[in-house]
């Protein structure tokens, strides 16, 4: 199973990281997706350099392009942001503690 956590704000690294770690420990292929402004649906609002720097600090996997065939795509913003994904899309608010 492939699960992608689509980045629209750098602060989401700290919210998604524990979830990605838990999924990886269960054998799920999970990672951040950090698209640059020309490919990111929110454009320049997302600071990819900062986001990727924070992701590197976690040591967790990151992709730089979406996989439209991922089994699930996750984002905290409106679900329409995940329109390029063909399978399940989920909206999660700030982290697993809420």
Any idea how long the chain is? 98
80 vs 30, residue with greater confidence: 30
How much is the pTM?
0.90
| Tokens encoding 1 | 């199973």
pLDDT in tens, 5-63: 999 889 899 999 999 999 999 999 999 999 875 666 666 778 889 999 999 999 999 99
pLDDT value for 98:
46
Torsion of CA 7, 92, 18, 58, to 10 degrees: 10
Distances (CA, A) of 98 to 29, 92, 94, 95: 23, 9, 7, 6
- HSE at residue 24, side-chain half, CA atoms within 13 A, is 15
- Between CA 5 and CA 66 the distance in angstroms is 10
pLDDT value for 17:
95
């Amino acid at each position: 199973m492939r699960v992608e956590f689509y980045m629209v704000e750098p602060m989401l690294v700290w919210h998604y990281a524990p979830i990605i770690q838990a999924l990886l420990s269960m054998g799920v292929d999970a990672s951040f997706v950090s698209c640059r402004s020309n490919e990111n649906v929110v454009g320049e609002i997302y600071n990819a350099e900062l986001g990727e720097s924070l992701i590197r600090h976690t040591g967790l996997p990151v992709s730089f392009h979406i996989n439209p065939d991922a089994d699930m795509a996750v984002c905290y913003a409106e679900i329409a942001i995940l329109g390029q994904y063909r399978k399940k899309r989920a909206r999660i608010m700030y982290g697993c503690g809420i």
